[in-house]
Amino acid sequence: MTGGGLPYVPPGSVAEALRVQEEVRPLADLAGPGPTAPATVAGLDVAYAESGDRLAAAVTVLDARTLAVVDSAVTVGRPAFDYVPGLFAFRELPALLDALDRLTVRPDLLVCDGHGLAHPRRFGLACHLGVVTGLPAIGVGKTPLVGEWDEPGPRRGESSPLRDGDEVVGRVLRTRDGVKPVFVSVGHRMSLANAADRVLALTPRYRLPETTRTADRLCRDVLAAASD
């Protein structure tokens, strides 16, 4: 399921992780344009046990037109890397890649609960997953990791640039009238405009994309069951 991208080898140290990040970052296609009418869209999310030493990584694949779940997979395991700011993706990548490999439906787009370009070193989880899988990928964060922005207008679909210094690294997007926005950034093989359009298509009723909502529910349910 993850063929077509770059083989992933877990780093053994912080120094190695930083080196991998620097070497792989230029491989992310940040221009797109990406699919404007994907047939299937996958959500990826990870839930952690209270102890922090166990996780469940879930992928749900939705029909992009009906938003019905057509496939899903989940992996229960342990974080693959220590918690280090800016290197969080390394904790979750092996489990998420394992879940992706368990799918029977190959998604046209990955929607990560996290960030892509809107990252201190411009290579968040959505970028890394996109490069490794070869699939178009975007990040949709509940809160920002970097940057400054002006509050977007109050209506659904209104947005403002997320800037880090002089660079636009994402878009602050209102998905519901009068509800706090989400933070959209490009991961791989997508344009920012297309990423924002896809997020709006995935949020007909709630603030967060249906991809995120279904993956979040699945990983939490499986983790709770595994802890019983």
Annotated binding-site positions for Mg(2+): 45, 113
C-alpha closest to that of 36 among 203, 204, 198? 198
| Sheet-wide strand order for 159-164 | 69-77, 55-63, 40-48, 109-112, 137-141, 182-188, 167-173, 159-164
Annotated binding residues, written as ranges, equal: 45, 113
User: Strand (E) positions, the chain?
Assistant: 40-48, 55-63, 69-77, 109-112, 137-141, 159-164, 167-173, 182-188
Could you give the CA distance from residue 158 to residue 204 in angstroms, rounded to a whole number? Answer: 15
Cβ atoms of 185 and 195 closer than 8 Å: yes
